Every structure is written in C-alpha cells, then in structure tokens.
Amino acid sequence: MAILDTGFDLSHPDFAQRQIVTKNFVGDQQPFHDGVGHGTHCTGTATGPLHPASVQRYGIAFEALIFSGRVLDDTGSGGDFNILQGIDWAIEQGCDIVSLSLGAPWVPGDPAFSPAYESAAQHALAAGCLLVVAAGNEANDPRFVGAVGTPGNSPSVLTVAAIDRNLATAPFSNRVQPDAPGVKGPDLAAPGVDVFSSWLVREGRYNTISGTSMATPHVAGIAALFAQANPSIRGQALKDMILNHCMALPNGAARKGEIGRGLVQAPLDSQSVSSTDRRRRRRVG
C-alpha cells in the first residue's frame, strides 16, 4: 500500500520493525521526513505498527508493506505534478492500494473532474491498483460550495466521506451539492472525527484529529485486508467488493449524496470473503 502525503516520521518508535519504502517528490533535497505530521497520522491509521503500541491501539493493515511517497511539502501543500508522479511511482512499485488524503476544493467554473487524475485512476485500475481519495473538508466553509474536491471527484477513484462515532455525517465532509451539477459525491464513508493515530506531537503524546483525511486511510487499510484475503481481487473488482460490503447507515437513502453506499466494513475472514465473492459472481454469471 502506498500513502502519498507529507511523508513519514521514520524515527517513530512504533514503526521500528516495519519495512517502509520511501520516495520524495517535492524536490526539497532534504532527507525523507514528515515536517507536518499528517502523513504519519494517515500511515498509522492505514497500517499501524506490527504489534500493538504501548498507547491505545490504532491501525488496520499491519501486515501491509508500506510505500510512503512525500508529495506534499512542510506546509502541507503540493502540486498536481508531484501527486501524479507519486501515483505513477506507486503503480510501478506494484502497490495494490494508494491512499490519498489530499485535494483541492471544487469551485464554480471548474470541470466536474480533472482529466489528468481520471486518466491516472483508470491507469491504476488497469494495473490492478485502487486509488482511495478523501472527499475534502469544505462542506461547512462559506468560502466554498462544499462539493467533492479534486482528485476525489474523479469517477474511477474510491471517494471517502467522514462520519462521527454516532454515524452522523461530519459537518465538514464534502458531498453532492446542487451548486455543483455533475460533480461526483462520496462512494462510501469511514470514521473521520477525533481519530487517534501515530502523529507524535511530543514525546509520549499522540495526536487526535478530524477530517476526510482521517477517514480515507481507514478505507485504504480495509481495502488491504480485502486484497490480502483474496489475492485474485484487484483494481475495479476490489473497489466493487468494498462497496458491496458497506453497511447501510440510518437515513441512508436521504444521505446518499453524503455517504454513498454507507459505512466501510472489514472482511470477517478470508473464507467468508472468498465464498461471498463466489456467490456474487455466480449470480451475475
């Protein structure tokens, strides 16, 4: 799994035994690092340490091989060129999942999606790689329309909204908006409010933050579990399987433009995933 973000804290004690492949795309000529903490937090949620940390537990796909691409700089900003380079790198490395907790707000006059990102997403699916992307956090920001931002609005990515512990849509989570005709809404939702993970703000103290950025690595980690459970399921088939296993949420029909199919669900075990997939394929065959 690739996490394309602000980098990763390679000195993090919880990850001392994890294999991490790194690549810096921002051109700052510094040793690989995370000058923000955001990428470290997202990596912690998606993968976690090999063994439970001494603090409260976090992380999902602890057996995944981590590819950490630094596509955002120490201000948390980055260009499309760097991000697209990172996606190409992840595909070349054979990653099955790419987690992208980043994006730019959609504003009136923008196209419904970026052709460059949609081309990258289609290329990824053809290579057996799924892009999991944040919906964005502008829904309650009066400066913006609150539609899903770029690249989350690309039709071929898996777009993630944020919900809270009460299963309510986070007020900041971007969604289908009447002022943004044709712009895609979220495909599914995941926990994105008050998420504890591996961002160390000082020795012994871990950060707890909110955003669709926090929801996205939950889905990426669960995607890795599905991929691990069934090695034959990749790309579009993996995307379909994840969506078909979502749990419907209260008032789901009315909230479809906010949460898509519902709450992402992890596979119960490898046998249940394989047998469910076989039943699904027989029905459509």
Q: Give the residue numbers marked as catalytic.
A: 5, 38, 213
Two structure tokens written together for 21:
């492949």
Amino acid in position 211: G
CA angle 253, 257, 260 (to 5 degrees): 75
Which among 167, 171, 133 has a CA at the least distance from the CA of 149? 133
Residue matched to tokens 């596979």 = 267
Determine the Cα–Cα distance for residues 260 and 218; give it in Å rounded to an integer. 16
- How many CB atoms are located within 10 Å of the residue 133 CB? 31
Distance of CA 275 to CAs 53, 148, 200, 268, 271, Å?
Answer: 33, 35, 41, 11, 6
Which among 35, 36, 34 has a CA at the least distance from the CA of 66? 34
Which contiguous run of DSSP H or E holds residue 195?
A: strand 195-202
